[in-house]
Amino acid sequence: MSITLEKIYTDFRAKEKLAKKLLEQMNWFGSITDFDPKTGAALPKSLSGFLAKVAQPEASEITRDRLWRITEHCRASVERLFHSLNESPRREHALLPVHAVRELDANSFIKLSNRPGRTIREKLAGNPYIQAVRRFQSVDLPENRLLKAFAIRLAEMLDLRGDCLGQEDELLSKIYLWLRSDEAQAIGNWENLPPNNTLLAHRDYRHVWDAWRWLQTLDEDITSDLSQLDVREKTMRLWQQCAQMWLDGKHLFAEIPLLFDYEKFEILPWTSKPPLFKEVKYKMPRHLRQSASAEPICVDITALHPRYASGDGKGAQSLAAPFLWQRWQRENETVDIELFGSDAVWLNPDATTISAPDLFFAKDNATELFDPAARAFTTRLREEFKNDTLIWLAPDFLNDFELEVIRRNLNARFPNAEPLPRSVAAVFAQADPAKITGEGYAIIVVDSIGGKTTATKLIAKRDKDLAKRLPITKGFYWERCPPVVIPGEEAERLGGSGYDIITLDANGRWHDAIRPAKPPFIEAAHLKRIPNIGNFAFCINLMESPVMGGIHLHALQQQVADIPLWRDQIPELSVKVMKDGHQQRFHLVLRGTTVKPIRGKPVTIPVDEFFTLPAGRPHYSFPLYVGDKGDDFGFSARLDSPAFPLENKVDCELNLTFEYGADDPYKLVFTPRDKSFPPIRATWRRTEEITDAPAPEYPQPMTWAELQRFPKQDSNKTSDLLDWVERAIEQLDRDFYIRPKQRTTGTVNRKWLTDKIGGQFTFATCKSTDESVFIHQNSFVHELSYADFTEGAEISFELQERDGKFSGWKVAGPRYKDEVRLKNFDEESAKNLVASIRKRLYFPVIQVWRDGRSTGDRECPKGFADAMKARGEHLVALLNESGIPEQVKNEIRFLMACMHKDAPENCVQWITGQVEGQKIRDLRAVGFALGDVSQQWQKDLLSQLVANPSNDALSILAYAIWREQQFVEKFSLANLQSILNALNIMLNIKQYPPRKDEWTARNWIRATTEPLELLLGLLRTRASSTPEIKILLQPHQKITKELAKKIERVTEIVTLSNIKLFSRVKINIQKPSGDRTPDLLYALRLYLTGDDGANAIHISSVSDGNTDETI
């Protein structure tokens, strides 16, 4: 049986218990719950906020039942709609006086033709009215019909509520007034049509539609509520008990979001378990919030409990509430909670915790989480401090770009919000103007905050007008210099070691609050030894927040509004542009630029140089660099315009202004000198933390079949590299040995004759030819005499033919046999043989065995595998020949090393011996021998190299990483971190030596390119499937930025040296015209900075041939 709202109200008036209990329950839930103004759903709340509301409920005479919820959800929308209903143009036929006719159609002329008369004048003479088209705006629309039906029904309910509960609603009179209006009367009846787009999408009509639907199910919902009275009573008692425990102050509750379901009367903790609490011995105060201050305030929100001071004489105070904010997230559900009244913070894995100090000091303080956290913190400050003037202290080492989030949110809530460096506040808190000896008097303020200790110099400057207007200053104002970070001094960071509030960790363990450590005291004598600081007269060590100095400065400034009591030297600011073929710094703000910190008064900063925009780009993005060292701090200037891309390069004038304390302090406008497009304002963008920056590709490995059809350079023909290897090794045999030719047996057929010069000769016959064979006495082997062989004697010889005539060579007896002999090598012949081996064998051997290929592969042709087994044994035999020079043997060993896992045992021992003995003679051979690191000896070798990443080891890895595609995946995260640290040191390339002989130049080029090629190979880790390794060299990482700086320095050295940098890695890349940067360095710059241009880089091949190329 359905229970109606009328019955509940009537029973309540009759003091029936069930009706009273039901309304009490719904009123309790409605009182402790906040509703989403858009959907009407109950919003999540923090546990502490909920318990405070339950323990100390707000007094109200209104019963917050279901009808109250419906009314509140649509109240504002209904009132707005009563004054601005949707209208739609309509047309109808009406009999109108002639002067009012604006439109006629076919029906009008038909009606007119039926009247007597020949002309229109005659037809209208007796009756000056005509049937015409009348257009008008109609409010009789489906959404307005629903509004009217809803208003009528809601008025009936509110009347009933007033009669039975005695609670009048002011909306009722507005409804009746509207229903009597002409507009309402012109609206037809609602016919229960499906909702149109307006009802579903319009801000106000959607609220009416939701409320209408709830009204339709109101009786069913009440019936369900009555059936759950006992269960709901238990829910109320449970949370009232928790609220009482909280109010008594003897239990600490860990903060957690609570989720509410209005329809089910459910209140569920995020973890679906009862709240976690801990009993304490002392009583926790549950006082109300501090009374709001209406005075101007100086606040320091770099602490968990912000410090503040006002002009009320109470001194510096701390806000009791911890400025903490959490986002709890799981699957598709997200809840944000503020922890201002929390007993303890639960560091749950589902929660991301942000504190007020994080807005200043967290590395990722520009992520999407920090803006809502800053909004929550600044909203709370606005509730505490009612005055529009708020001076907020900023750490000196942070620049205006890094303070963007907190500054923007404070400006949105305090019209007169002003940032103030902590050092300036400290001077006005502790420095006595009477002690200033004259202009140039300097004070150093030492501040340890945010993990850094900085020394900021403030110099006294004189202003005659100030002396007259404010004598207490003696006419001196302070000029702040850029801060100097003191090396080796690190302050403790809140969040790095804990929070100044009780915490509950992910394992359910409670931890006491960790009080902030006392800042270190830096002696003045130590500061004077730091060269960047210079001389000073007085030193202030900040031991507490200087908020009193900030409010004192404000009071003094009010007395001389137009003369700032301090000035600021803003930091150097520059971008990097292409000029004269390489990147150079373009200064926007020069060192020593001083501005007056006055809100609302921009200061023009002159930029004398013209800025050239190159042609052909859809947009422009220039990374910003701050300070004299040009540190990249994660921001860039971006230009967008419909005029892009430009057809030709354009010179622009730069107009730069600085406005102290504004949301965007720096405003930079590019104005083309030729007026070819309107001026463009640059937008400052934080460099996003790219997690999928481009990675260099590895050249496509060749198949065995492709090796047999290898394209010849500058030709359409192909070569068979497998056949080339076999033939070249065969030729190697002829280079080393003298092997006998086939001998022919014959008979001397004449007596010995004498030639013109007295030599003896004769002729012989043999079966190999019908011609007589000429035999000369000098053709006999050295041990024999020609006289021993007379006519008819049998002889043997090597048969030679020339121009159709035959002769015998190495003549001897018929049983003579020649032996195989090793050639004799002198220094010249050995050098020639080394050059021959490099020319004939390096290229085919290196290509065949690159990319981890082996004769043991299934795809390897069997004939080649069998042939190489024999050839390999022959190469081993050559190493055993004592007569072969050592430099020639080293060439053979290198060829064996190229075969990596096919290398014979003695080659493996030669390789491992070099590494173990730390006397590596051939870096390239060791690198090539690593191959695909599939053999145990290769794995051991790699482990030794990684364990001691010396310069030699890194050079070896540079060769190995571009020999096999998967080689980079052999490193662990720890391996890569160790290698990158060593590589960062190795990239401190020395200047090109003044001696420019070929040998010196070649060694310098090799020492320069090897670490660069290794870095390019290591960037392939960006494609790793392991998240920790994938992120290691992303552009935002510290090591990546350091490496990018090293690359810029190497680029400058190479450019100034005017030397061609040879690299094995062949890169196809599009560079701006006039850019002389070597391809390898240009590609590394794009990859390391995350430039989109890196996507267009194509690595075509790796040339692992002889590196002793011509320079």
pLDDT tens per residue, range 432-468: 888 998 999 999 999 999 889 999 999 999 999 998 9
Burial class of residue 462 (count of CB atoms within 10 Å of its CB; 0-12, 13-18, 19+): middle
Cα(1021)–Cα(736) distance, integer angstroms: 46
96-110, 254-268, 524-538, 702-716: which is most confident? 254-268
Residue with tokens 């960047």: 532
**pLDDT for 82:** 94
pLDDT at residue number 494: 38
The encoded tokens of residue 351 equal 């929660």
Work out the average pLDDT over 488-496. Answer: 47
Predicted pLDDT of residue 580: 58
According to CATH, the superfamily of the domain at 297-567 is ATPase, nucleotide binding domain (3.30.420.40)
Report pLDDT for 836: 86
The pLDDT, as a whole number, for residue 629 is 65
In the chain, CATH 2.60.34 sits at 570-686
pLDDT-wise least confident of 632-636, 842-846, 1019-1023: 632-636
CA distances from 1076 to 1006, 1043, 1058, 1061 (A): 20, 21, 10, 11
Domain with CATH 2.40.50.140 in the chain: 742-819
The rounded mean pLDDT for the chain is 88
pLDDT at 562: 85
pLDDT at position 334 over 60: yes
**857 Ramachandran zone, left/alpha/beta (phi>0; psi -120 to 50):** beta
pLDDT of residue 287: 64
* pLDDT at residue number 254: 92
Q: ∠ CA 90-94-99 to the nearest 5 degrees?
A: 105
Write the DSSP assignment of 134-203 as a string of letters. EEEEE---HHHHHHHHHHHHHHHHHHHHHHHH----HHHHHHHHHHTSHHHHT------PPP-HHHHHSH
Query: pLDDT (tens digit, 9 = 90+) per residue, 533-561?
Result: 888 988 999 999 999 999 999 999 999 88
Sequence-ordered list of residues with C-beta below 8 angstroms from that of 316, at least 6 positions apart, any chain: 307, 308, 309, 544, 545, 547, 548
CA-based end-to-end distance of the chain: 99
- pLDDT band for position 1029 (cuts 50, 70, 90): very high
Q: Is the pLDDT of residue 331 over 50?
A: yes
Q: Say which residue the tokens 């609570």 belong to.
A: 258
Q: By mean pLDDT, which of 48-57, 300-309, 357-366, 442-451 is the weakest?
A: 357-366
Residue 56 tokens read as: 């100390």
More confident residue, 619 or 444: 444
State the fold for domain 742-819.
OB fold (Dihydrolipoamide Acetyltransferase, E2P) (2.40.50)
Domain with CATH 3.30.420.40 in the chain: 297-567
Q: What is the pLDDT of residue 1111?
A: 24
Please, what's the b/e burial string for 543-573 (b: 16 or more CB within 10 A of its CB; e: otherwise)? eebbbbbbbbbbeebeebeebbbbbbbbbbb
- pLDDT, residue 688, reads 65
Q: Model's pTM, two decimal places? A: 0.71
Query: According to the model, what pLDDT value does residue 289 have?
Result: 56
| 419 pLDDT more than 70 | yes
pLDDT number for residue 365: 60
Q: What does the pLDDT look like over 935-991, one tens digit per residue?
A: 999 999 999 999 999 999 999 999 999 999 999 999 999 999 999 999 999 999 888
CB atoms under 10 Å from CB of 197, counted, come to 9
Is it the case that residue 491 has pLDDT exceeding 50?
no
Phi, psi dihedral angles at 493 (to 5 degrees): -105, 130
Task: For residues 1069-1073, give the mean pLDDT.
Answer: 75
Selected residue with higher pLDDT from 468 and 1109? 468
- Length of the chain counted residue by residue: 1111
pLDDT confidence tier of residue 576, bands split at 50, 70 and 90? confident
Average pLDDT value for residue range 649-664? 94
**pLDDT reading at 596 higher than 90:** yes
Q: In CATH, what class is 570-686?
A: mainly beta
Is 815's pLDDT higher than 60?
Answer: yes
Backbone angles phi, psi at 24, to 5 degrees: -65, -40
| Residue % of the chain over a pLDDT of 70 | 95
What confidence tier does 631 reach under pLDDT thresholds 50, 70, 90? low
Report the pLDDT averaged over residues 620-627: 83
Residue 405 in contact with residue 371, Cβ under 8 Å? yes
Question: What is the pLDDT, as a whole number, of residue 492?
Answer: 43
Query: pLDDT by residue (tens digit) across 902-928?
Result: 999 888 899 898 888 888 888 999 999
| Residue 578, Cβ density class (10 Å: 0-12 exposed, 13-18 middle, ≥19 buried) | middle
Tell me the mean pLDDT in the region 880-887: 83
Give me the pLDDT at residue 879, please: 83
On whether the CB atoms of residues 342 and 322 are closer than 8 A, the answer is yes
Supply the pLDDT for residue 579: 65
pLDDT of 387 strictly over 80: yes
Identify the H or E element spanning 567: strand 566-569
Cis peptide before 285 (omega within 30 of 0): no
CA dihedral 57, 59, 60, 63 (to 10 degrees): 40
Distance CA 498, CA 877 (A): 69
| Confidence band for 621, pLDDT divided at 50, 70 and 90 | confident
Query: Quick check: 663 and 704 in contact, CB under 8 A?
Result: no
Q: Output the DSSP codes for 672-741.
A: ETT--S--EE-EEEEPP--SS---PPPPPPPPHHHHTTEEPTTSS-EE-HHHHHHHHHHHHHHHHEE-PP
Pairing of strands 452-462, 476-480: antiparallel
Residue 802 confidence (pLDDT) above 90: no
Residue range 475-499: mean pLDDT, rounded: 73
Greatest Cα pair distance in the chain? 162
Least confidently predicted of 274-278, 763-767, 1004-1008: 274-278
Give the residue ranges of DSSP H helices in 432-518. 464-469
Model pLDDT, residue 618: 85
